[in-house]
Structure 1
Amino acid sequence: MSTKTLLFAAALLIWIASLHALPRLGCMCVQTIDRPISLNFVRKIEQRLPSGSCRRIEIRMTMRNKRVICANPSDKWVQDMLLEVQKKNTNESQLSTSQL
């Protein structure tokens, strides 16, 4: 075998090995909370849609104390909170565009 072929094969093996060494990004929420949380304590809400790495919708909330919790997206209080945030964001965007 030529030197180029050996170098290519070695690079390919290293690349494949590095893929296996990377952590897989499966579902991030192992368990969810049941009790409602006040929006005042929430700093950020993330909604992860189903993908190849996780087949369910996940709602992750970063609290003001930087703790991350997961909530069940089918719980009524979570749906109400998401609607409230959506309305708030819509009102803020309407205010900023009307000021132009």
Structure 2
Amino acid sequence: MSSDPGEPARRALERARQSIQKIHQAAIRHRDPSLHEIADEMSEVALILGHDAGPVQDWRPCPVCGAEPGSHCIQRPGHEMVNGMHPERSRL
């Protein structure tokens, strides 16, 4: 048994992050944008409650270059990229 009182909460948060990622993966697999919207709503609620729901940029379409969820961004003139993605893609 762990002596860390915060451990159960961290495990629960990690399970929630994994669940959100699974929803995004299902959205890609089934080509269902409504599943991405649901996962984004869950991420927003987590942020409001003070929790980071994990990286979302891989699971949403890019508003700059149109890269589909699950694919990499494409360089566009006049738009900077950070770690291979447009910063606009990671904003909720």
Superposition TM-score, scaled by structure 1 size? 0.26
Superposition TM-score, scaled by structure 2 size? 0.27
